[in-house]
Amino acid sequence: MDDETVISVENVSKKYCKSLKKSMYYGAMDIGRNMLGLTSKPGRLRKGEFWALNDISFEVKRGETLGIIGPNGAGKTTLLKMLNGIFWPDRGKITVRGRVGALIELGAGFHPLLTGRENIYINGAILGMTKKEVDEKFDDIVKFAEIGDFIDSPVKHYSSGMYVRLGFAIAAHSQADILLIDEVLAVGDVGFQNKCFNKIGELKREGITTLLVSHNMHTISTFVEKIVLLNCARAISFDNVTDGIKEYAQLFTHKDDSEIERISSGNDSTKFYEVEIRKRIFKPGDSFTIVLKYRSELDYEDVDVDIAVFGAHEPVLYFQATNKAYGRKIDLPKGNHSLKMEIIDIRLNSAMVRIAIAIWSKRREVLLFWWRIPIKFEGVDYSTGRNFLNVTYELNE
Amino acid sequence: MIQGLQQRKDSLSMQEIVTTYEPDNSLKKGYLSIFNQIFVELKQNRWLTYQLFKRDFLSSYKQSFLGVLWAMILPLVSIGIFIVLNRSGILNIGDIGAPYSIYALLGMAFWQFFSTGLVGCSNSLVNAGPMILKINVSKKSLVIAAAGKAIVPFIIQIIMVGVLFVGYGRAPSILGLLVPVFIIPLILFTIGLGFFTSLLNGVMRDIGNIISILLTFMLFFTPVLYGKPKMGILVTLTKYNALYYLVSTPRDLVLNGAIPEWKGFLIVCLLSVFLFIGCLFAFHLTETRVAERI
């Protein structure tokens, strides 16, 4: 490990146990063995155990900002906890140079009955500050946290905003050489987040190394220089942030759910016998076209055609409207006909969505058709966010 | 900006500590270095330990009307029960050579120093569980600070004893001033045991319950509220009861200015020192295991 490498993670693995009772038993066994000076053979799995992180390696240099991303349960928090020494690896080796400040939860260690002033001293001590350091930084902390007169009130009377502001203020002034930040900045309001990122920027200029865990790809792409992507207990490093984010988005589209859900294609008297969908992979700005061919023995006047676009893996509704939103009255006469629908110029970015189409008879008495069609929007380089808007640039003299 | 960077670098190179985490870390480094590690950690975290103690102290009396006075209530109730039992002839307190209330309250002060401290230590890691999972904080400091919970009630009880001496028009022995020295073995015994039980309690919550029950039993099997038994099974039990020596020696010192059982006390002193070192050592080797089980 050279002088500029502040964090080095070499082939690190961590195991967990699924059952609480087993975990208790194994824990007692391991403690017993360690007390007797025997190794607890951490490198092998016992019954009911699994690798939460498996053979992870990466390095962080001084002053760098590393983003750690990955789906839920990929081991991001476990990794941060190991870097902070809360958990120890079961295999491999972690070397950390300098004092680590962890923001895994803001205000962890606050006692609700104690005042802000008392908690600043206690929390400062918990974060590894000396009395002198807290004395020196006290005014800065209070000023940054904007808690004013509340400094002498018990923190349980604080608003949640004040609570996290104080928590962040102490951690940010704790003179750490390495900051581990776990999604904590998502809690405050926008003004606070802005302030936090400015503070982190300031610390970065002073040479602090930052590790940021976030699900927010905008935060990641704005602040980090390198990425470690965790998935299924394994890690991949990216020196290019865009590549890492693309790979992350890929994780969610690889899942086997490109099946169209044909929930209803008609009833005894009406049948939608053919559905034509031209393409299923789109770039922002493309149009989605669907042609429904049907055979019906009955006349349906003034039907409702519902179209909704929602996230395939997350509860986001991008769009919903019926034909009435466009002032269109649609009748489906009996016989063989086809209904063509087109959603023009969809501007989604790196998204896996489902387009739901449902057709109801008048007053929604009979459901005639209901399909959910997954489609995929490819990502655009240098762009994050769910939408890709049409932006023009014009430089004038 | 560049100046800021330079400053930071300077301060980094001065105090930069390299930490490694790998399985069975302590074992690889060898046993002798462990003592050094423990010593350095305890020394570095003195202020933290004090802050944690302050946190416990301030918080436990803040939202309570009687506050610190609660420390007086339990011993007074226990002593009251013994007085009633004695007066009605059910229980023979025995020959104690001092007013019973002084004898009992003084005994209870030392006993409670042990029991409050042990319960505090045992629960320290579990109570701090959410924090232990989020911040790497010295767990030794947590345990030691929790033992500090016993200090304030102890001082209050000693003051009560002083009041009683005045009330009875008696004077304690001048050698009573040596009590702070003579309770060191009791402190080591309490914290040593506390290191051990806090770990076990972290893994198995049963330990906390078992300790409360055991302490109640032990109070009745140890001559704290009654004189040293002269016959029956209790004679043997008392002879091998380390707590008896730890409690009665400082008490005898205050009441009579003498240590009648100095041999037993000396053995128990050695035992306490070994218990403390052994448990601290075991705690150091295993504390990282506990965070993930809590």
- Determine whether the interchain pair B59/A95 forms a contact, defined as Cβ–Cβ distance below 8 Å: no
Residue of B nearest to A105 (CA): B134
Whether residue A263 sits in one domain with residue A246: no
Q: Kindly report the number of other CB atoms within 10 A of residue B36's CB atom.
A: 10
Of the candidates B202, B219, B201, the one whose C-alpha atom is nearest the C-alpha of residue B210 is: B201
Provide, as residue numbers in chain A, all residues whose Cβ is less than 8 Å from the Cβ of B130. 108
pLDDT digits (tens, 9 = 90+) for B22-68: 887 666 667 778 888 889 889 989 999 999 999 988 888 777 777 77
- Determine whether the interchain pair A108/B131 forms a contact, defined as Cβ–Cβ distance below 8 Å: yes
Q: How many whole angstroms separate alpha carbon A139 and alpha carbon B130?
A: 28
Whether residue A293 sits in one domain with residue A271: yes
Provide, as residue numbers in chain B, all residues whose Cβ is less than 8 Å from the Cβ of A108. 130-131, 134-135
Burial class of residue B164 in the structure, from the number of CB atoms within 10 Å of its CB (0-12 exposed, 13-18 middle, 19+ buried): middle
Provide, as residue numbers in chain A, all residues whose Cβ is less than 8 Å from the Cβ of B58. 111, 113-114, 118
Rg (CA), chain A: 28
In this structure, of A326-330, A354-358, A387-391, B2-6, the range with the lowest mean pLDDT score is B2-6
Residue with tokens 């301030």: B58
State the pLDDT confidence band at B13, using cuts at 50, 70 and 90: very low
- Determine whether the interchain pair B134/A102 forms a contact, defined as Cβ–Cβ distance below 8 Å: yes
State the pLDDT confidence band at B190, using cuts at 50, 70 and 90: very high
pLDDT digits (tens, 9 = 90+) for B100-115: 888 888 999 999 999 9
Residue A338 at interface with chain B, using a CB cutoff of 8 Å: no
Q: Among partner residues A42, A85, A91, which is closest to B136 by beta-carbon distance?
A: A85
Whether residue A273 sits in one domain with residue A226: no
Given A250, A275, A303, the domain boundary residue is: A250
Residue B22 at interface with chain A, using a CB cutoff of 8 Å: yes
| Residue A257 predicted with pLDDT over 70 | no
Query: Looking at residue B26, what is its pLDDT?
Result: 65
Distance to chain B for A205, nearest Cα, Å: 7
Provide, as residue numbers in chain B, all residues whose Cβ is less than 8 Å from the Cβ of A116. none
State the pLDDT confidence band at A186, using cuts at 50, 70 and 90: low
Residue B2 at interface with chain A, using a CB cutoff of 8 Å: no
Whether residue A295 sits in one domain with residue A202: no
Whether residue A125 sits in one domain with residue A64: yes
Residue of B nearest to A19 (CA): B293
Residue B133 at interface with chain A, using a CB cutoff of 8 Å: yes
Residue A108 at interface with chain B, using a CB cutoff of 8 Å: yes
Q: How many whole angstroms separate alpha carbon A119 and alpha carbon A133?
A: 15
Across the A:B interface, residue pairs with CB atoms under 8 Å apart total 155
Split into its structural domains, chain A has a count of: 2
Whether residue A294 sits in one domain with residue A264: yes
**C-beta contacts of A321-327 below 8 A and 24+ residues apart:** none
Residue of A nearest to B292 (CA): A87
Distance to chain A for B10, nearest Cα, Å: 11
Q: How many whole angstroms separate alpha carbon A389 and alpha carbon B223?
A: 83
In this structure, of A1-5, A47-51, A117-121, A333-337, the range with the lowest mean pLDDT score is A1-5
Whether residue A225 sits in one domain with residue A279: no
Whether residue A242 sits in one domain with residue A286: no
Question: How many angstroms separate the Cα of A245 from the Cα of each of A351, A381, B260?
Answer: 12, 10, 77
Global ipTM: 0.82
pTM: predicted TM-score of the whole model, two decimal places: 0.78
Q: Kindly report the number of other CB atoms within 10 A of residue A107's CB atom.
A: 24
Query: Looking at residue A254, what is its pLDDT?
Result: 53
Query: Looking at residue B274, what is its pLDDT?
Result: 96
* Domain CATH number, residue A390: 2.70.50.60
Whether residue A202 sits in one domain with residue A281: no
Residue B203 at interface with chain A, using a CB cutoff of 8 Å: yes
Distance to chain A for B198, nearest Cα, Å: 13
| Residue A141 predicted with pLDDT over 60 | yes
Residue of A nearest to B13 (CA): A98
- Determine whether the interchain pair B8/A87 forms a contact, defined as Cβ–Cβ distance below 8 Å: no
Interface of B with A in 38-77 (CB under 8 A): 47-48, 51-52, 54-55, 58-59, 62-63
Whether residue A208 sits in one domain with residue A104: yes
Domain that holds residue A168: 5-250
- Name which residue leads in pLDDT, B23 or A294: A294
Given A225, A250, A275, the domain boundary residue is: A250
Given A250, A283, A318, the domain boundary residue is: A250
Whether residue A143 sits in one domain with residue A50: yes
- Determine whether the interchain pair B55/A111 forms a contact, defined as Cβ–Cβ distance below 8 Å: yes
State the pLDDT confidence band at A350, using cuts at 50, 70 and 90: confident
Percent with pLDDT over 70 in chain A: 97
Residue of B nearest to A30 (CA): B289
Q: How many whole angstroms separate alpha carbon A120 and alpha carbon B126?
A: 23
* Domain CATH number, residue A215: 3.40.50.300
| Residue A56 predicted with pLDDT over 80 | yes
Interface of A with B in 196-225 (CB under 8 A): 205-208
Would you say B199 and B189 are in contact if contact means Cβ atoms under 8 Å apart?
A: no
Residues 6+ apart with CB under 8 A from A161: A188, A189, A192
pLDDT digits (tens, 9 = 90+) for A68-103: 999 888 889 899 999 998 888 988 999 999 888 888
Provide, as residue numbers in chain A, all residues whose Cβ is less than 8 Å from the Cβ of B22. 88-89, 92-94
Of the candidates A180, A208, A227, A186, the one whose C-alpha atom is nearest the C-alpha of residue A78 is: A180
Provide, as residue numbers in chain A, all residues whose Cβ is less than 8 Å from the Cβ of B16. 97-98, 177
- Determine whether the interchain pair A111/B59 forms a contact, defined as Cβ–Cβ distance below 8 Å: yes
Query: Looking at residue B3, what is its pLDDT?
Result: 38
Query: Looking at residue A1, what is its pLDDT?
Result: 59
Residue B225 at interface with chain A, using a CB cutoff of 8 Å: no
| Residue B10 predicted with pLDDT over 50 | no
Whether residue A299 sits in one domain with residue A203: no
Would you say A5 and A97 are in contact if contact means Cβ atoms under 8 Å apart?
A: yes
Phi, psi (degrees; rounded to nearest 5) at A209: -100, 135
- Determine whether the interchain pair A126/B292 forms a contact, defined as Cβ–Cβ distance below 8 Å: no
State the pLDDT confidence band at B176, using cuts at 50, 70 and 90: confident
pLDDT digits (tens, 9 = 90+) for B238-279: 889 999 999 999 999 999 888 888 899 999 999 999 999 999
| Residue B85 predicted with pLDDT over 70 | yes
Query: Looking at residue B265, what is its pLDDT?
Result: 94
Mean pLDDT for the stretch of residues A242-264: 76
Interface of A with B in 149-188 (CB under 8 A): 154, 177
Candidates A29, A86, A100, A183: best to mutate against B (most CBs of B within 10 A) is A86
| Residue B9 predicted with pLDDT over 50 | no
Residue with tokens 């976030």: A214
Candidates A6, A30, A34, A210: best to mutate against B (most CBs of B within 10 A) is A34
Of the candidates B288, B292, B122, B289, the one whose C-alpha atom is nearest the C-alpha of residue B205 is: B122
Would you say A262 and A104 are in contact if contact means Cβ atoms under 8 Å apart?
A: no
- Name which residue leads in pLDDT, A357 or B22: A357
Per-residue DSSP letter, B136: -
Residue A138 at interface with chain B, using a CB cutoff of 8 Å: no
